[in-house]
Homo-oligomer: A and B are copies of this chain.
Amino acid sequence: MGRLSSLFTPERVAVIGATERPGSVGRALVENLQADFGGEIVPVNPNCETVCGLDCVDHVGETDADLAVVAVPAAVAVDVVREAGEAGIDDVVVITAGFGETGGEGADRERDLEAVAEEYDLNLVGPNCLGIISTPVGLNATFAPRSAPSGSVSFLSQSGAFVTAVLDWAADHGVGFKDVVSLGNKAVLDETDFVESWGDDEGTDVIVGYLESIEDGRRFVDVAGEVTRETPVVVVKSGRTEAGAQAASSHTGAMAGRDRAYEAGLRQAGVIRADTVQDLFDAARVLAGQPVPETDGVAVVTNAGGPGVMATDAVGDGPLSLAKFGNDTVSRLRDRLPEGANVYNPVDAIGDADNERLRAAVDTVLADDAVGSAVVIAAPTATLDFVQLAADVADLQADHGLPVTTCLMGGERAREADDTLVEAGIPNYFDPARAVGSLGTLERYRAIRERERREPTTYDVDREAAQAVLDRARERGTTRLGVEAMSLLDAYGIPTPAGEVVDSPVDALEVAEDVGEPVVMKIVSPDILHKSDIGGVKVGVDHADVYDAFEDLVARARNYQPDATILGVQVQEMVETESGVETIVGTNRDPQFGPLILFGLGGIFVEVMEDTAVRIAPLAEADAREMTEEIQAAPLLSGARGRDPVDRDAVAETLCRLSQLVTDFPEILELDVNPLVVRPDGAVAVDLRLTIEL
């Protein structure tokens, strides 16, 4: 059982604000508890003798309860919670609204509540929530009109209304719950706490959630990253689209953060992100009901060619592949199926198939080593009994121990078979694509569960040198830095071209003579962000032209912006780019997840094609490698169009070193290396821009 298990296994529940007033929350809470709870229920209300037949006490301190459910008006709620804390109660659910979600006075009240919770070290759910449910002990500490059917899914939701909706719907749809939590304003306990706790809970097979924000993204990634190695976590994180993000933010008052960061964070945590409610519960059903496959090969068995084709199309849409049967399987199928049947995958037992024939076909394919899962599809025919088919499939699933979903295509007929399938945990859909999609979810989870454990890759770096660069900028009061800060990269072992920032033509020539001929010269000014646009970059400057180039660069900068601070001119080794690929490596800071690392190809690829890979820092080298592989333009790194492949390892190392840099220095808000030129034998950072916090 998890850390918060006491919350879900109370022996005595105090309902503060209990009342008999019809339609009131206080009454609904008491009645819901009375319905099934095996422990004791103590109503607290100084104005009542009894509530719903239970003796009432005046104060929570008199209850000897281990869980306090608070449904008093907002104005007194904090005091009541304090009383509970004083009485030694550890677990508190605050139903009451009128806190942070209203702003102003409510926000102050929420801060008070947090302080009390901290003082007494409370496990506090809410405020502004529907409550909690735990089916094994019959605990329904919510004011929802209906409790949860029992099962092994634990469910958290940032929307209380969504909980009531799901509870009403779940009973009919084969989804059963262990614990349910309405998170409310998450003043104390948040999604990460419950994910962590349920990760240790034997009664929970699957964790599903509806979230509009994640409080502490970094902690969530760490915690969920561990939990998902044992227990699948599926969430809808709304605010995927710009419109949705705005709506979420106005609904919860929470800063929603950028979806790209959530996408990266959820992925790195091994959380399966569902886009819709349907996808969320399709995933929950199959993860709770079926085992995880051992291979990605799926067998399709059907009595109807068309739906078999639809299922095969859906296989192509997801992570599964159509299993290639062994010869034994093919010949066994040939023995068991009539002429005209297809004995290859998708197996078509044809329209006159009876139950025996379909059973034989399913049994045969499930015995094949190449088959990791199977979908059984049946159109209604005179020769086939769906109830019997459901029973057969349930048997065979149990015998072979492989995941199976079904697509019994019909209305009433299919419903008759439903009980058997629900009992066996076998999801059944009319649409072949959903049946296949469910198996795809299992396959995705297999990859998550089996993924290697990655520690951030770190290197020996010169942290003091980097600190010195940042300190100097701070002393100057500068927040925007450019090539003059290249030594930041040097300090973290990221190769840069030879060169220096100089403030006279004489020095420029001296540096040029050191670094070779020709050179690149760039104006260095915190006030000029787009150097190229004003002619502030000269490429291929011969030594003879260095003087003139220096003067010209300074003149152009002055001309463009007379009061610009000019730090000098950078004279730089000219990096050979012919054999290389220009890439961009960048980082910025997300309010929830901290530093994000971005990788893409230079120029149009990032700007026009928006072809980038993003991760939450810190990175392991394997993460960085994946980034170089997942962009659409990846073939350009591996030698497309007859070119030599470039050094992906050098890219991965640069990404990790950059990740280490921005992790070490939280004052770096944004940093772009553009371009990082990657050649067959290494990578070099040619230009740099960064923004720091003063």
- A interface residues, Cβ below 8 angstroms from B: 23, 28, 102, 145-146, 157-162, 164-166, 168-173, 210, 212, 236, 238-244, 246-248, 250-252, 275-278, 303-310, 312-317, 321-322, 340, 342, 344, 346, 348, 351, 379-383, 409-414, 430-434, 533, 603-604, 607-609, 611, 632-633, 635-636, 640-642
Contact = CB atoms under 8 A, between A and B. Distances in A.
A168 B251 contact: no
29 contacts: A146-B380, A157-B306, A160-B306, A161-B305, A161-B351, A165-B380, A165-B430, A169-B430, A171-B412, A212-B306, A238-B309, A238-B310, A241-B312, A241-B313, A243-B321, A250-B344, A251-B305, A251-B342, A275-B313, A275-B317, A275-B433, A276-B433, A277-B431, A277-B433, A278-B430, A278-B431, A604-B640, A608-B633, A609-B633
Contacts of A162: 304, 306-307, 379, 409
Given A161-B379, A164-B379, A172 B312 contact: no
Given A169-B411, A240-B313, 7 more contacts: A159-B307, A161-B409, A162-B409, A165-B379, A168-B411, A246-B312, A275-B317
Given A276-B434, A304-B162, A351-B160, A636 B314 contact: no
Contacts of A247: 308-309, 312-313, 346
A145 B346 CA distance: 25
B168 A309 contact: no
Nearest to A236: B310
Contacts of A321: 243
The 5 closest A-B pairs by CB, nearest first: A159-B306, A241-B316, A161-B304, A244-B313, A165-B409
Name the residue in A315, A317, A379 with the highest tally of chain B Cβ atoms < 10 Å from its Cβ.
A379
Contact of A251 (B309, B383, B609): B309
Contacts of A412: 168, 171-172
Nearest to A165: B409
A314 B240 CA distance: 9
A414 B162 CA distance: 14
Among A277, A414, A433, A608, max chain B CB count under 10 A is at A277
Q: Which of A236, A309, A636 has the most CB of B within 10 A?
A: A309
Contacts of A304: 159, 161-162, 165
A380 to B, nearest CB: 5
Contact of A145 (B275, B307, B380): B380
A251 B306 contact: yes
Given A159-B307, A381-B164, A604-B633, A243 B169 contact: no
Nearest to A342: B250
Most B CB contacts (10 A, CB to CB) among A239, A310, A382, A412 go to: A310
A307 B243 contact: no
Nearest to A158: B306
Contact of A173 (B244, B342, B411, B607): B411
Nearest to A277: B431
B159 A305 contact: yes
A557 B430 CA distance: 62
